[in-house]
A and B are shown apart, each in its own frame.
Chain A
Amino acid sequence: MVEKPKFDLYTFHQSLVNDNLLLYKGPFNKPVLGVFQYYIYETLMDYPFLRKKIYSVFVELAQNIIYYSAEKHIYNGKPVGVGTLSIQDTNFSYVFVAGNLVSSANLGKFIDKCTRIQKLNKNELHEFKREQLRLPSGNNDTANIGLIKIALSANGSLDFIKYEVDPNHFFLTLLVEVIK
């Protein structure tokens, strides 16, 4: 007799909306990136520009988890961030919901950046991007412009929700909508 898992899959299944394309929780290592990449490329093969937008948003959200999640998993000897990412296909848009644990110490500057980005129009986003590119590269090879690039790909649609987990951590969720 198989031991019942602690995870109630049926309740989880019922809680998901029907238009959920992909949902993953775990380390965002190379094989996982490959699965998402293959799925996006195959599903949107006939829409190359939309496919590029969707893939671009996915990559930046995934990289955010890889580098900045406070929860890590070791893959090939290197720490890789753990998080959750879902892509939903509605009638007129693709909705991304990405979440990961962040330390309370790092939360503030992240939210400041999100809040600033939300107020910028397209030209201002480009100017902000150019301004950030002039700064030294961030830790982990990043360029400080991931969130800006998400906002540009999604025509400014970037939102966030934070949940306090414990005194030292929050769970930060990013929401992005790309109109078809």
Chain B
Amino acid sequence: MENIHIPGSHDGYFVPTVNFNFETGICEISGESFLEETNVFYAPLINWIKDFTKTGKSLVFNCKLTYFNTSSTKSLLDIFKILKKYEENGGEITVNWYYDEEDLDLEEAIEDYMIDTGLTINMVSF
């Protein structure tokens, strides 16, 4: 599997920085997510994760997003559901979300994801 590397950008829309590494099993998404075509952006990421879960390797998902619009909310939920399913099928996963502890809105959004998916997301404050 090829690694994914997408540099983030701000240009009317916000493209997050993405680094998915097959060798290490570390997947990271950071910055802000507000895209012109959300499904087009996230589809390859979702497919990559689905393919990765077929390998049986352990996966660490580090989320460092500070802002994401509603369309991105849905795509992230799809990713977390895949991770939860992998975990239920015996896969080893760790999900970390790095955030500013004063950002209560983001804290609530992360908790919503946990309630919705049953996934444990380690909330790492800085």
B22-64: contact bitstring with A at CB < 8 Å (1 yes, 0 no)? 0000000000001011110000000000000000000000000
Q: Which residues of A contact B69 (CB under 8 A)?
A: 56, 59-60, 63, 149
Contact B70 A149 (CB under 8 A): yes
State A30–B109 Cα separation when bound (angstroms).
27
State A52–B102 Cα separation when bound (angstroms).
12
B88-121: contact bitstring with A at CB < 8 Å (1 yes, 0 no)? 0000000000001011010010001001100000
Whole-angstrom distance between the Cβ of A171 and the nearest chain B Cβ: 23
Knowing that A33-B13, A52-B103, A137-B74 touch, tell me 19 more A-B residue pairs with CB under 8 angstroms: A30-B12, A32-B12, A56-B69, A56-B105, A129-B112, A130-B115, A130-B116, A133-B73, A133-B77, A137-B39, A141-B37, A141-B39, A141-B71, A142-B71, A143-B71, A143-B74, A145-B73, A149-B70, A152-B108
Residues in chain B within 8 A of chain A (CB atoms): 10-13, 34, 36-39, 66-67, 69-71, 73-74, 77, 100, 102-103, 105, 108, 112, 115-116
User: A140: nearest residue on chain B (CB-CB)?
Assistant: B71
Residues in chain A within 8 A of chain B (CB atoms): 30-34, 37, 48-49, 52-53, 55-56, 59-60, 63, 126, 129-130, 133-134, 137, 141-146, 149, 152-153
State A21–B100 Cα separation when bound (angstroms).
28
Contact B11 A133 (CB under 8 A): no
* 15 residue pairs bridging A and B, Cβ less than 8 Å apart: A30-B11, A30-B13, A33-B13, A34-B11, A37-B10, A52-B66, A52-B67, A59-B69, A60-B70, A126-B112, A141-B38, A141-B71, A142-B71, A144-B70, A149-B73
State A179–B100 Cα separation when bound (angstroms).
21
Whole-angstrom distance between the Cβ of A131 and the nearest chain B Cβ: 10
With A56-B67, A141-B39, A142-B71 already in contact, the answer to whether A133 and B105 are too (CB < 8 A) is: no
A-B residue pairs, 4 tightest by C-beta: A34-B12, A30-B12, A143-B74, A33-B12
Q: Which residues of A contact B12 (CB under 8 A)?
A: 30-34, 37
User: A56: nearest residue on chain B (CB-CB)?
Assistant: B67
State A145–B73 Cα separation when bound (angstroms).
9
Q: Which residues of A contact B100 (CB under 8 A)?
A: 48
Contact B116 A133 (CB under 8 A): yes
Q: Which residues of B contact A133 (CB under 8 A)?
A: 73-74, 77, 116
Q: Which residues of A contact B112 (CB under 8 A)?
A: 126, 129-130
Contact A53 B105 (CB under 8 A): yes
Q: Which residues of A contact B105 (CB under 8 A)?
A: 49, 52-53, 56, 152-153
Most buried by B among A33, A34, A141, A153: A141
Contact B70 A143 (CB under 8 A): yes
User: A146: nearest residue on chain B (CB-CB)?
Assistant: B70
With A30-B36, A33-B12, A130-B112 already in contact, the answer to whether A55 and B70 are too (CB < 8 A) is: no
